[in-house]
Amino acid sequence: MKEAFELLLQANFQKYLEILNDLIRIPSVSFENFDRKNVEHSALFLKNLLEKEGFENAQLLTPPGGHSSVFAEIPGKTDVPVILLYAHHDVQPPLRKELWKSPPFEPEIRNGRLYGRGSADDKAGIVLHLAAARLVKEALGERTPHLKILIEGEEEIGSPGLEFLLKEHAVLLKNDAVIVADLSNFAKGVPALTASLRGMTAAEVKVSALEAPLHSGSWSGPIPDPVQALCRMIASLTDDEGKIIVKNFSDTVAVPTNEEKEKYAALRIKEKTFRKDSGLLDGVAFTVPENLLPETLWRAPSVTVTAMETPGGFENVGNVLQNTARARISIRLAPGMDSKTAVNALTEHLKSVCPFHLHLSVTAETGAEAVIIDTSHPYFRKMFQALETGYGTEAKIIGCGATIPGVILFQKAFGEIPVLLLGVEDPECNAHGENESLYLEDFKKSILSEALFFHSVMEINSFS
């Protein structure tokens, strides 16, 4: 089957590349300060595109006050499981425009990579699904599984409306398995399926000592400095090795099994590669030794200070004793943890270490839970095999330190269905950063692999 698919893909690849370019040209940033018309334009563009490409029942699904998602389907055989293909069409802001070597919304190919915002995350995911679906349809006609596609419009802002959509359109979206194309390969040319995701939550912490800033000469000394207090409180969250030491915070973490640990070790992730991919400065040490890098990134929680602020900031700095200070602490949850318990533990800890009876407030954001995927499910095995055939090389099972809120929501809405996590990002793609790019050779192989998976699914009539 591979050769037949390959020939078809070869004949159509240029078209899919142009579709991807068209998508990149739409600056569909879903963040609040950006023009929401662009996300709507992107949704409409996709609806028309899917119709043109032979999908049926194409429609926009819009949560109240939110950005539109796009749905469409290709009917197939009724006695094989229905597969829902998920990707998202909103993108991250372009960040610092001057750092882009080519403009973020003008696609450009350099050295086999396609540059542009969304090229990898996640407009490639959309075209991957579209192309793979077209491929099987063309090659197999009626003998394809029923494929549904859902392209979300607000993934990058935490999928606030997805739960609503899954409830409101439960019948339309009903499926037996989901393929999420929004993740990363192990390396350039090395395909991977992701078996765990960390969850995420965050809290804003504010400490106050005074009604307003004061002359530091006249008042500092007897009056405590809330900025230093906040720094000390934050510093007490971890020990000298960077390990979180908050009581009751990580008690429920699902410790990797020996088998999982062996698998992580077999990936042979090198400190050198990790250093290069992350851009860690010369001489700066990791918090853990090389052999614990994957486990720490994928299976352990982390706390990160994503913002810290004093009134006025550097622009208005003077010799004043600040009245207040605040920070946003982002928490990555390891599988087994629960977002509410984690935030409660963090709050209790901060209360217990807050000095001088300063006024403390902790405001939590809504969380998204971590995920563990059943790697023994027949669908997981089939997809793993399809990736190996499509890429012509050994595939890897990896974890991911990031969060996809949709995965838990899919399992909540459709029962314990298999969710397959794959994607065309790689360690060089710089998704969310400047000069985001997609390695086109792997993009092509991913389309082929997914088409092979659809074909192989025809042999499974049930999950038993």
Burial group, residue 431, by CB count within 10 angstroms (0-12, 13-18, 19+): buried
Residue 185 CB, nearest approach to Zn ion (Å): 14
Which of 53, 73, 90, 122 lies at the binding interface for Zn ion (CB under 5 A)? 122
CB nearer Zn ion, residue 122 or residue 225: 122
CB nearer Zn ion, residue 244 or residue 400: 400
Q: Which of residues 18-47 bind Zn ion (CB under 5 A)?
A: none
Residue 454 CB, nearest approach to Zn ion (Å): 22
H, E, C per residue of the chain:
CHHHHHHHHHHHHHHHHHHHHHHHCCCCECCCCCCCHHHHHHHHHHHHHHHHCCCEEEEEECCCCCCCEEEEEECCECCCCCEEEEEECCECCCCCHHHCCCCCCCCEEECCEEECCCCCCCHHHHHHHHHHHHHHHHHHCCCCECEEEEEECCCCCCCCCHHHHHHHCHHHHCCCEEEEECCECCECCECEEEEEECEEEEEEEEEECCCCCEEHHHHECCECCHHHHHHHHHHCCECCCCCECCCCCCCCCCCCCHHHHHHHHHCCCCHHHHHHHHCCCCCCCCCCCHHHHHHHHHHCCEEEEEEEECCCCHHHCCCEECCEEEEEEEEEECCCCCHHHHHHHHHHHHHHHCHHHCEEEEEECCCECCEECCCCCHHHHHHHHHHHHHHCCCCEEEEECCCCHHHHHHHHHHCCCCEEEECCECCCCCCCCCCCEEEHHHHHHHHHHHHHHHHHHCCCCCCC
Q: Which of residues 138-157 bind Zn ion (CB under 5 A)?
A: none
How many residues of this chain bind Zn ion (CB under 5 A)?
Answer: 3
Residue span binding Zn ion (CB under 5 A) among the ranges 89-97, 120-128, 244-252, 454-462 = 120-128
Residue span binding Zn ion (CB under 5 A) among the ranges 181-189, 213-221, 225-233, 264-272 = 181-189
CB nearer Zn ion, residue 121 or residue 225: 121
Residue 64 CB, nearest approach to Zn ion (Å): 23
Q: Which of residues 304-343 bind Zn ion (CB under 5 A)?
A: none
182 interacts with Zn ion by CB under 5 A: yes
Residue span binding Zn ion (CB under 5 A) among the ranges 36-44, 177-185, 294-302, 356-364 = 177-185
Rounded Cα gap, residues 372 and 407, in angstroms: 10
Which among 303, 297, 304 has a CA at the least distance from the CA of 256? 297
Residue 332 CB, nearest approach to Zn ion (Å): 16
Residue span binding Zn ion (CB under 5 A) among the ranges 119-127, 226-234, 349-357, 369-377 = 119-127
Residue span binding Zn ion (CB under 5 A) among the ranges 76-84, 178-186, 198-206, 217-225 = 178-186
Answer whether 175's CB lies under 8 Å from 113's CB.
Answer: no
Rounded Cα gap, residues 315 and 91, in angstroms: 30
Rounded Cα gap, residues 178 and 176, in angstroms: 7
Residue 141 CB, nearest approach to Zn ion (Å): 33
Amino acid at position 273, single letter: T
Which of 73, 90, 121, 450 lies at the binding interface for Zn ion (CB under 5 A)? 121
CB nearer Zn ion, residue 92 or residue 347: 92
Which among 364, 365, 357, 366 has a CA at the least distance from the CA of 207? 357
CB nearer Zn ion, residue 158 or residue 311: 158
Residue span binding Zn ion (CB under 5 A) among the ranges 79-87, 113-121, 222-230, 382-390 = 113-121
Residue 122 CB, nearest approach to Zn ion (Å): 4
Residue 436 CB, nearest approach to Zn ion (Å): 11
Residue 404 CB, nearest approach to Zn ion (Å): 7
260 interacts with Zn ion by CB under 5 A: no
Residue 12 CB, nearest approach to Zn ion (Å): 25
Q: Which of residues 360-389 bind Zn ion (CB under 5 A)?
A: none
Residue span binding Zn ion (CB under 5 A) among the ranges 58-66, 179-187, 294-302, 445-453 = 179-187
Residue span binding Zn ion (CB under 5 A) among the ranges 38-46, 115-123, 126-134, 214-222 = 115-123
Residue 46 CB, nearest approach to Zn ion (Å): 15
425 interacts with Zn ion by CB under 5 A: no
Q: Which of residues 346-365 bind Zn ion (CB under 5 A)?
A: none
What residues line the site for Zn ion (CB under 5 A)?
121-122, 182
